[in-house]
Amino acid sequence: MITNAAHRGIVLCGALVAAVACQMGDNEHLGEVRRPSIGGIDDIASMDVTADGDRLHALLSATMPQHTTPTVIYTWSDDHGATWSTPVPLGQRGDPAPIAGHGNEVQIAADGPNLVAVWQGAGAVPGTGPMIVAFSRDGGTSWSRGANPATGDLTNNQSYMDLTADDDGLFHLVWLDDRDENGNSQGLRYARSLDQGETWHTETTLDATACTCCWNRVAALPGDGIVVLYRDQEPHDMRLSRSGDNGISWQPMPAVGDFGWQFSGCPHCGGALAIASQGDRTTLHSIVWTGKTDAAGLYFLSSADLGSSWSSPRAIGTGRSRRADLAATRDELAAVFADVAAHAAAVSFIRSGDAGRTWSQPRLLTQTAETSGQPRVLATADGFQAFWTEKDSAGRDILATAHLN
């Protein structure tokens, strides 16, 4: 339990901190949990899902039928994830095997028929390898290879990517690499594509000493703004970097949750970031994790001034909660997170109807703790939808999804 919360400004709401801070009632309805069959694929090692209008786009690192090794696969759904299109493998002859797992997930972003996919391929040294970029201009029917934006990285080792598309059709990408050979940290890099993933420009170092193995989040603001959430090296708190000119120049911002956590290793845990816009008002919402003694766990924060200042951290979940994701539509928020115990993790969700001031009680999405993937939540045209992977009766990792009405 947090013992020194008062002077740090951490918001607790009575005895419910072990569940969720500040209940607002449990009248939300959890839609049917679906476990769709996607062309016979199984053993999903990594997944990313994005919504563009009524269509869901998914990128999976999984094993195709009659194959023994994983590949990267694209598929789409027009019925909220009940059924999915025939999977399209993006791998080419001679490709290295994909490296994907918790945090270091495959990535996909969409802007109408223009799709971009990014993942890490295995290099000569185990656990290392370069980014691979693929793009489609016909809604995912056919794919071509784009350039690797990390032109300045002679180590040829890039990981922990995140990708988004803005309202003008530009694609924005962040990743970690150690081209400066810092040893105990990596550099956080950024590039943007003006031609839907074929080429990349403005390769920029946002922070030369970021944490080595925590996932990053990039999001587009209304207008020409871009924000990136990442874990700093010293201290090990989450930070924000912001651009107001579509990624040409950047400004470091204050910590997102100023815990002052000093830690010499890597916690393998990034954060979540969501943008809510209404009229001329834009609010940043975030969930961060800290391992600081007497404060370990997940915290929700919001910013009404584009990251210049943040609300007091509000504890959510339990001390074992990690792997959070967050989605927003105006004042409506939905979050998913995993309670990690041993080698398993049970996924729960919570909702807020007042921009995070109060939250519902957590509800389990999984019936067992045999969940293995990074949970995701999206704001779709028909409400919030959660995605995760879990083990079936044969011990294979399959996709699961539920509509959060």
Q: List domains and CATH numbers for the chain.
A: 5-404 (2.120.10.10)
Please tell me whether residue 4 adopts helix, strand or coil conformation: coil
Please tell me whether residue 194 adopts helix, strand or coil conformation: coil
Tokens at 9, concatenated: 């400004």
**pLDDT score for 15:** 30
The phi and psi torsions of 5 (rounded to 5 degrees) equal -70, -35
- H helix or E strand, kind and range, residue 138: none
Sign of CA dihedral 233, 121, 338, 84: positive
SS3 of the chain: helix, strand, coil, percent, to 5: 0, 50, 50
Measured distance CA(276)–CA(218) in Å, rounded: 14
pTM of this structure: 0.92
**pLDDT score for 68:** 81
Name every residue whose Cβ is closer than 8 Å to that of residue 162 and which is 6 or more positions away in sequence: 107, 173, 174, 175, 215, 216, 217, 218, 228
Cα separation of the two ends of the chain = 32
**Could you report the average pLDDT of every consecutive run of 10 residues in the chain (405 residues)?**
37 37 46 89 92 95 86 95 95 90 94 98 92 98 97 93 97 95 86 98 94 95 96 95 96 96 91 94 97 94 97 92 94 92 78 96 78 85 92 87 88
**pLDDT score for 278:** 87
- H helix or E strand, kind and range, residue 7: helix 5-8
Q: Decide if 303 contacts 283 (C-beta within 8 A).
A: yes
Give bridge partners of residue 77 from the DSSP assignment: 56
Tokens at 72, concatenated: 């990267």
Neighbours of 196 (CB within 10 A): 21
The phi and psi torsions of 358 (rounded to 5 degrees) equal -135, 155
